[in-house]
């Protein structure tokens, strides 16, 4: 028996949440939520009122948003060593790039993928400035370090797999530093185990 349940769909951002669970190494149950009526049902909305996957239930805690799931699991299972402890200076870059991935990175690639035009004079207003500014900042960080905090953490699970999926779907410019970082993250045994489990769930669906 486990008190960790991931509500997910193999064709979703839930793949990143599963990779994080595999990194943590605790037993968990995965409940596949099909798109459509089941995801929109009252029962599932009770877990995630957004009617979206993934959602993590851990005892009485319900966590949605992949970045939050990654951060929550790292804190809930500190022995896995996936977050610098509060007070550690590395907590700064850890939070910085975790939030960067959930905010500026996700916004910029969404706007680009949707083909929405952003007038240059709006750069000062939008949080990501421009795709170029956002990508240059990310590339600059990766020029200095292999992992966000110098050692692998939940920030890499989220940022790295967001980048890997964006590269795979062609929604981000393929710069060498991005490809190398995505390759490092997706070669991790935990990421491969999660991908295999999701691929098997997809094949069985
Ligand atoms: N910001 C959310 C995004 C979740 C999300 O958009 N999930 C998509 C799949 S990747 C979904 O469930 N879509 C179904 C729908 O909106 O009907 C997160 O990080 O978890």
The answer, yes or no, to whether residue 1 has pLDDT greater than 80, is: no
Q: Atom 12 in ligand 1: which residue has the minimum CA distance?
A: 52
Q: What would the mean pLDDT of 111-139 be, rounded to a whole number?
A: 96
**Beta partners for residue 57, in sequence order:** 5, 62
Contact 69 CB / ligand 1 (< 6 Å): no
Q: Is the pLDDT assigned to residue 161 strictly greater than 80?
A: yes
CA of 66 to the centre of ligand 1 (A): 9
Phi and psi (nearest 5°) for 174? -85, 85
From the CB of 53, is ligand 1 less than 6 Å away?
A: yes
31-81: per-residue pLDDT in tens? 999 999 999 999 999 999 999 999 999 999 999 999 999 999 999 999 999
Q: Whose Cα sits closest to atom 20 in ligand 1?
A: 65
- Bond preceding residue 56 cis, omega within 30 of 0: no
Angle at CA of residue 164, ends 161 and 167, nearest 5°: 150
pLDDT at 204: 85
pLDDT, position 87 = 96
pTM greater than 0.85 (yes/no): yes
Give residue for tokens 């319900």.
Answer: 62
Q: Is the CB of 55 under 6 A from ligand 1?
A: no
Closest ligand 1 atom, residue 52 Cα: 12
pLDDT at 92 (0 to 100): 98
Looking at the chain, the whole-number percentage of residues with pLDDT higher than 90 is: 98
Q: Report the C-alpha gap between 192 and 198 in whole angstroms.
A: 10
Question: Which ligand 1 atom is at minimum distance from the Cα of 64?
Answer: 20
Residue 201: pLDDT over 90: yes
Cα(144)–Cα(137) distance, integer angstroms: 11
CA distance linking residue 82 with residue 156, whole number of Å: 9
Banded pLDDT at 147 (limits 50, 70, 90): very high
Work out the burial of residue 115: count CB atoms within 10 Å of its CB; fewer than 13 is exposed, 13-18 middle, 19 or more buried.
exposed
**Which residues, 6 or more positions from 115, have their beta carbon under 8 angstroms from its beta carbon?**
none
pLDDT at 178 over 80: yes
Measured CA to CA, the distance from residue 29 to residue 191 in angstroms comes to 17
**What is the chain's mean pLDDT, rounded?**
97
Mean pLDDT of 70-93: 98
User: In the chain, pLDDT over 70 holds for what percent of residues?
Assistant: 100
List the residue whose alpha carbon is closest to atom 1 of ligand 1: 65
Alpha carbons within 13 angstroms on the beta-carbon side of residue 134 total 26
Please choose, from the candidates 198, 196, 186, the residue with its C-alpha nearest in 3D space to the C-alpha of residue 53: 198
Query: Tell me, what's the pLDDT at 205?
Result: 72
Contact 152, 161 (CB under 8 A): no
CA nearest neighbour of 78 among 187, 153, 155, 156: 153
Q: What is the pLDDT of residue 122?
A: 94
Cα of 30 vs its chain's centroid, Å: 17
**Euclidean distance between CA atoms 114 and 171, whole angstroms:** 10
Closest Cα to atom 15 of ligand 1: 52
Nearest protein CA to atom 18 of ligand 1, as residue: 65
Reading the block at residue 191, the tokens are: 């990421």
In order of start, what are the domains of the chain with their CATH numbers?
A: 4-82+190-204 (3.40.30.10), 91-187 (1.20.1050)
């Amino acid at each position: 028996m486990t008190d960790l349940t991931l509500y997910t769909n193999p064709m979703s951002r839930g793949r990143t949440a599963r990779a994080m669970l595999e990194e943590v190494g605790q037993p968990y149950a995965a409940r596949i939520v099909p798109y459509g009526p089941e995801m929109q049902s009252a029962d599932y909305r009770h877990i995630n009122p957004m009617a979206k996957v993934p959602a993590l239930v851990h005892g009485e805690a319900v966590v949605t948003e992949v970045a939050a799931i990654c951060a929550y699991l790292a804190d809930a299972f500190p022995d896995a060593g996936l977050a610098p402890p509060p007070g550690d200076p590395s907590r700064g870059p850890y939070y910085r790039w975790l939030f960067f991935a959930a905010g500026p990175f996700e916004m910029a690639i969404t706007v680009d993928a949707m083909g929405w035009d952003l007038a240059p004079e709006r750069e000062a207003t939008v949080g990501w400035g421009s795709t170029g500014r956002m990508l240059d900042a990310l590339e600059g960080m990766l020029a200095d370090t292999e992992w966000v905090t110098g050692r692998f953490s939940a920030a890499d699970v989220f940022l790295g797999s967001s980048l890997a999926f964006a590269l795979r779907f062609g929604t981000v410019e393929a710069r060498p530093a991005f490809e190398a970082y995505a390759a490092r993250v997706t070669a991790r045994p935990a990421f491969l185990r999660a991908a295999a489990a999701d691929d098997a769930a997809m094949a069985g669906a």
